[in-house]
Amino acid sequence: MRDITSILPLAAGDVSYHGDGRTLVDGLSFTIPAGGLTVLLGPNGAGKSLTLRLCHGLLTPSRGRISWAAMTEGRARRHAMVFQKPIMLRRSVEANIAHALAAAGLPASERRERSRGALSRFGLSEKAAQAARLLSGGEQQRLAIARAWALRPELLFLDEPTSQLDPAATRQIEELLAGLVAEGITVVMSTHDLGQAKRLASRVLFLHHGRLVEDAAAADFFPVPASPEARAFIAGELLW
Amino acid sequence: MEFGAIFKAAFALVVGLDPGFLAIVGLSLRVTLTAVLIAALVGLPLGAALALARFPGRSAVIICLNALMGLPPVVAGLFVFLMLSRSGPLGPLGLLFTPSAMIAAQVLLVLPIVIALTRQTVEDLWGEYRDHLRSVGLEGLRAIPTLLFDGRFALATALLAGFGRASAEVGAVLIVGGNIAGYTRTMTTAITLETSKGDLPLALGLGLVLIALTLAINAVAFGASRIGARYAG
């Protein structure tokens, strides 16, 4: 379908990030190949969110580097990000998507069609003309995902996408994410919710105190975590 | 003239659409609206740029701008007067005692308001939007159109505040305009003059229009924030 080479795998090579005089992320190395849903798991303050931001390019590593298999030319980055608290522009639901498409350099003629497509794909067509900021929390996060999806990313980063949602909305978002993976989009998300990680992950990167403690397939990680930290976390004993 | 008669005569002027009266109101609106328009064209992008830019001395610039919001109109007038007077740097343009000079003086009064309020609005919005805008590749100057558009309701209020300040001031337009009948006489300068001359109906009539204008501005500002709350959440 895509006529351009893939940006994946993404490789983090010995990535560190310092802030406030402390090392917040320390010597991370991992690769994200195409496909599947990778969960960054760990207690609060483990550096999950920072790691996503470093990968997405919102932050620059203090040391080490993030590299992609292919450099993307032009404005479209082909990786997108959804944040913990949905950032909704003060515009209609449809205009929120059209704005992101315009930012990516899509001509006006295509924006409308693609925004409409995204709205219908995510069940938001009826809300197209509503003010985005007046949607419910779950709908806002759905719109944020639709907006990212409309950019046709190969890789989608999500930072604790359901931590502010009620269980019903959380379930909806989880189903959505599974759908994205089935569609062939590579998903990398952070969560501190063990149940969610078990439901969704195909692979787990377990972080603790800014370091990558364990990198394993989900099927191996959850029954028998290799590290004491991960064992403690799964037993509910490791809180930070 | 007794008190009631003054009111009656003033009312007759307003309702009767007296040509001389209308000319004064018209000039006032033309001068102030032009000044606000110029201040908006210059101040909105400049305020937004100041919100996003980081440079040494930025805090000092912000403090100065905030202070300039309270610039006394007579001082603004004096400054423009010095610039435009025969021996001043812009003297050869021959603009002193023309509506253009009045517009220039009012731009000087409105611009700091527009820049300072835009800076505040855009900076707050950027704090909220930063992650998303950077994520979709809008950084630096490229983020400005989005931020100005999304701040539109707050910015409309800022422009109305500027309009309110300019339409109510008398010092600046009096100094650089000269209050020449039929040419540079505005509502505020006319009220000043007519009150001292004793033509109270004309002064009061103009005063009524000014008050109505202030009411209208506030109604529009209130409406804008209401619409903003409903539409933008």
Q: What is the 3-state secondary structure (H, E, C) of B161-207?
A: HHHHHHHHCCHHHHHHHCCCCCCCCCHHHHHHHHHHHCCHHHHHHHH
What residues of B are in contact with residue A131 (Cβ under 8 Å)?
230-233
pLDDT band per the 50, 70, 90 thresholds, residue A5 = confident
Asked if residue A75 has pLDDT above 70, the reply is no
> Is some CB atom of chain A closer than 8 A to the CB atom of B233?
yes
Q: Which CATH superfamily is domain B18-227 in?
A: MetI-like (1.10.3720.10)
> Is some CB atom of chain A closer than 8 A to the CB atom of B150?
yes
pLDDT digits (tens, 9 = 90+) for A142-188: 999 999 999 999 999 999 999 989 999 999 999 999 999 999 999 99
Contact: B131, A87; criterion CB under 8 Å: yes
Interatomic CA distance for residues A99 and B142, integer angstroms: 13
- DSSP letter, residue A104: T
pLDDT at position A240? 58
pLDDT at position A1? 45
Contact: A151, B136; criterion CB under 8 Å: yes
For residue A91, give the chain B residue with the closest CA.
B232
What's the Cα-to-Cα distance from A136 to each of A26, A46, A193, rounded to whole Å? 37, 29, 22
- Nearest chain B Cα distance for residue A129, angstroms: 10
For residue A98, give the chain B residue with the closest CA.
B136
Contact: B136, A87; criterion CB under 8 Å: no
Contact: A100, B230; criterion CB under 8 Å: no
* Pick from A56, A103, A151: CB nearest B138: A103
Interatomic CA distance for residues A205 and A24, integer angstroms: 16
pLDDT band per the 50, 70, 90 thresholds, residue A236 = confident
Closest CA to B101 of B122, B119, B84: B84
pLDDT in tens, chain B (233 residues): 688 888 888 888 888 888 888 999 999 999 999 999 999 999 999 999 999 999 999 999 999 999 999 999 999 999 999 999 999 999 999 999 999 999 999 999 999 999 999 999 999 999 999 999 999 999 889 999 999 999 999 999 999 999 999 999 999 999 999 999 999 999 999 999 999 999 999 899 999 999 998 899 889 888 888 888 777 66
Q: Give which of B135, B141, B152, B155 to mutate to test A binding, by max A Cβ within 10 Å.
A: B135
pLDDT at position B193? 94
pLDDT at position B229? 77
Contact: B137, A103; criterion CB under 8 Å: yes
pLDDT digits (tens, 9 = 90+) for A43-55: 888 999 999 999 9
Contact: B146, A89; criterion CB under 8 Å: yes
pLDDT at position A2? 47
Interatomic CA distance for residues A31 and B6, integer angstroms: 85
pLDDT digits (tens, 9 = 90+) for A57-72: 999 999 999 988 887 6
What residues of B are in contact with residue A58 (Cβ under 8 Å)?
131, 134-135
- A8-17 in b/e form (b: 16+ CB < 10 A) is bebbbeebbb
Interatomic CA distance for residues B148 and B125, integer angstroms: 9
pLDDT digits (tens, 9 = 90+) for A76-95: 678 999 999 999 999 999 99
What's the Cα-to-Cα distance from A19 to each of A51, A53, A60, B111, rounded to whole Å? 13, 14, 11, 38
For residue A90, give the chain B residue with the closest CA.
B232
> Is some CB atom of chain B closer than 8 A to the CB atom of A100?
yes
Q: Where are the domains of chain B?
A: 18-227
Residue A4 vs residue A144, higher pLDDT: A144
Closest CA to B165 of B200, B117, B129: B117
Asked if residue A127 has pLDDT above 90, the reply is yes
pLDDT at position B233? 61
Contact: B136, A103; criterion CB under 8 Å: yes
Q: What is the mean pLDDT of residues A129-135?
A: 93
pLDDT at position B226? 85
What residues of B are in contact with residue A132 (Cβ under 8 Å)?
233
